[in-house]
Every structure is written in C-alpha cells, then in structure tokens.
C-alpha cells in the first residue's frame, strides 16, 4: 500500500512538473543560459591558415573586458564580442578609405573605426559591403564603430539616422559620443533608445577621462562598453586606463602610432627600435603589441595595404615584462591633439 502511495505521489509530481514546463514554454520562457546566448551575437576570430581568420558565433560565458588572444576578441559588457585590433579611418578620403577597409577585410581584420566628423561613413559602408561580397564575409563578422559629434548632440535622432543611412550596413555595431559637450547625456540617452530598437548594438564614449566619467556614468542607463582615448608611448594614460578597465569598460586607443605627422619620432625611438630588432618585427608592431598587452584595443590608421597587413600581424611574438616596463618609461605626458 505504502509503495503504491509513493508511486502515485511521484507520478503526480511528474505531471505537475510537465504541465508547469508546458505553461512556461507557452509564455515564451527560455532557460537562463539559452536566453543569454540567443540575445548575444558574440563571435570569435579563429586562426585559419597562416594569415587568414574566420569568425564564428560563441557563447558569452567568458569574462567581459578580458582579452582573448586566441580568438583575438574581447567580450564587451553589452554581450557582444569585439576584435581587439582593426583599422582607423581618420583622414582617409573616399577611395582610399574604401580600399583600406577592403584590404583590412581581405587580410582577416574585422574592426573598423569611423566618425561623422571624418566624412567617410559612406566609404566605410561601401568598403564593408564590397568586402562582404568579394571575400564572402557575413555582416555579423564585421564590427563597425562610428561617432556622433558635439554639434549633433542637440538633435541626436537626426544624427543617428544619418549615420545609419550613410553606413547602410543594416545596424551599427557601436556608436560613441565623439567628445563631451552640451547635451551629451541627452545624445547618449537617444542612443540607448536605438539600442532597444536593435539599430545600434553597443555604446561608448570618446575623450572621456576620470572626472568626465565620474560625472557622466550615474546619468545613463546603459554602461558604456568602451572608451576611446589618445594613447601612445609618449602619452600613456597610466592612471586613466586602469580606472576605466576596473569598471569593466574596454579601452581603445586613438593615435596609437602618435598620429599623422608624429609617427617618425615614435617609430624611430631608440628603445622601441631595439625591442623591435630583438623580436624581428617593426616598431609599429611593437607599439601595437604593447597596447594589446595592456588590454587596450588598437585601431591604427593606414592607407597602405602593406602597413594594414603588418598591423594585423601581432600574434607571433610577445613582449617581456622588462620590455613592457621599458616602454612604460617613455611616457612624457605628451598629448598630440587637444581633446
């Protein structure tokens, strides 16, 4: 009798569980893990042959903000993965920009930085679309960052729609506010709405430092996924970088090679040249690798396909702690642009 009662109780429990699961299914319930991965289009870049890379979907169980040198990506706090190296397009005219973007994509690079202010969002869009078609790259593998400028902050929806139209690549992977300025919170809140609509995937800031971030962050809902600031061996941001990274926000550097007009001095620096010689690489590669080892994403600008290839080739050597410290000693607090 007791046995029969126990069996009946077990059966009743089973039936209750089954009906609860069915009800949950009807309400669109997803187990937490599945929900997490289906919300995310994170991807990884996997080595494929010597120079080629391909990107594939992955789960987002990795820690956000930590560089994965194997996949060459970092998981952002937005749930998306971003390549840790790419191309900057400042000062590239239309045709040069299209061919530079295509050279990047052809050689396995997948991250491109542009801005309203560079006047080349159409060219970046064209390069991306042509690269996708010619090299068979899915849109999901490419990560495009653009920025809206302070003179657009008072009417942010117009600015964002303009960027979406000019790029014409379906959605924007990441949008940044280019500089702090009047109405920056309002502009950021508009970008947050575009994230809800799926038109922008991740948000960030550019030229925001300790004071600006401290004031800005409590005023917004979506924590920025990235801050893009000037960083190179002569201007290292040794206090600002950890301040940002400790918040789970990824740091990306502009002017990694010092910026146009300053590169000769930096690339010719004796310390950097000696380290480059020791590893059989170029000065540019040493600087970019130094950034990566500090957990800083690099977007060197280039109009030269040989440079673009070289700047993607940063994974065949590693700087020692001593070499990292030697480059750390080169900091002069020398900013090469005012913002």
Ligand X SMILES: NC(=O)c1ccc[n+]([C@@H]2O[C@H](COP(=O)([O-])OP(=O)(O)OC[C@H]3O[C@@H](n4cnc5c(N)ncnc54)[C@H](OP(=O)(O)O)[C@@H]3O)[C@@H](O)[C@H]2O)c1
Residues 89, 107, 146, 152: which binds ligand X (CB under 6 A)? 89
Is residue 302 a contact point for ligand X (CB under 6 A)? Answer: yes
Question: Which residues are known to be catalytic?
Answer: 118
- Decide: 194 and 160 in contact? Cβ < 8 Å: yes
- Rule CB under 6 A: say whether 307 interacts with ligand X: yes
Question: Is residue 258 a contact point for ligand X (CB under 6 A)?
Answer: yes
Q: Is 284 in the site for ligand X (CB under 6 A)?
A: yes
User: Smallest distance from the beta carbon of 235 to ligand X, in angstroms?
Assistant: 11
Q: Which of 67, 188, 255, 290 binds ligand X (CB under 6 A)?
A: 255
Residue 152 in the binding site for ligand X (CB under 6 A) = no
x/- string (CB under 6 A) for ligand X, residues 112-131? -x------------------
Residue 89 or 293 with smaller CB distance to ligand X: 89
Nearest residue to ligand X, scored by beta-carbon proximity: 301
Among 77, 90, 130, 279, binds ligand X (CB under 6 A): 90
Q: Are strands 143-148 and 172-177 parallel, antiparallel or unpaired?
A: parallel
Figure out which of the listed residues 311, 312, 313, 330 binds ligand X, where binding follows CB under 6 A: 311
Q: Report if residue 313 touches ligand X, rule: CB under 6 A.
A: no
Residues that bind ligand X (rule: CB under 6 A) add up to a total of: 29
73 vs 206 by CB, closer to ligand X: 206
Choosing from 206, 236, 269, 293, the residue that interacts with ligand X (CB under 6 A) is 206
User: Rounded distance, CA 152 to CA 163, Å?
Assistant: 11
Site residues (vs ligand X, CB under 6 A)? 88-90, 113, 178, 206-207, 228, 254-260, 263, 267, 282, 284, 299-304, 307, 310-311, 339
């Amino acid at each position: 009798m007791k046995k029969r009662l126990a069996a009946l109780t077990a059966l009743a429990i089973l039936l209750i569980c089954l009906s609860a699961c069915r009800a949950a299914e009807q309400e669109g319930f997803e187990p937490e893990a599945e929900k997490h991965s289906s919300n995310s289009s994170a991807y990884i870049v996997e080595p494929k042959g010597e120079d080629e890379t391909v990107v594939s979907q992955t789960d987002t169980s990795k820690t956000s903000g930590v560089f994965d040198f194997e996949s060459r990506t970092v998981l952002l706090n937005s749930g998306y993965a971003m390549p840790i190296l790419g191309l900057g397009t400042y000062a590239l005219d239309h045709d040069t920009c299209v061919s530079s973007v295509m050279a990047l994509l052809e050689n396995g690079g997948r991250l491109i930085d542009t801005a309203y202010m560079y006047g080349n969002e159409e060219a970046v869009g064209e390069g991306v679309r042509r690269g996708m078609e010619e090299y068979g790259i899915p849109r999901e593998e490419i990560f495009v960052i653009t920025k809206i400028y302070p003179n657009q902050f008072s009417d942010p929806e117009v600015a964002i729609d303009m960027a979406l139209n000019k790029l014409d690549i379906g959605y924007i992977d990441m949008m940044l506010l280019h500089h702090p300025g009047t109405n920056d919170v309002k502009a950021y809140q508009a970008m947050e709405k575009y994230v809800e609509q799926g038109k922008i995937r991740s948000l960030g800031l550019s030229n925001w430092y300790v004071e600006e971030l401290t004031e800005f962050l409590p005023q917004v809902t979506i924590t920025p996924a990235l801050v893009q600031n000037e960083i190179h061996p002569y201007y290292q941001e040794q206090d600002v970088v950890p301040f940002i990274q400790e918040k789970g926000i990824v740091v990306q550097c502009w002017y990694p090679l010092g910026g146009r007009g300053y590169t000769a001095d930096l690339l010719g620096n004796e310390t950097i040249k000696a380290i480059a010689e020791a590893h059989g690489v170029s000065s540019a590669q040493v600087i970019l690798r130094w950034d990566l080892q500090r957990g800083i994403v690099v977007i060197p600008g280039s109009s030269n396909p040989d440079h673009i290839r070289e700047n993607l080739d940063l994974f065949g050597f590693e700087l020692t702690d001593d070499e990292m410290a030697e480059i750390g000693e080169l900091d002069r607090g020398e900013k090469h642009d005012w913002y």
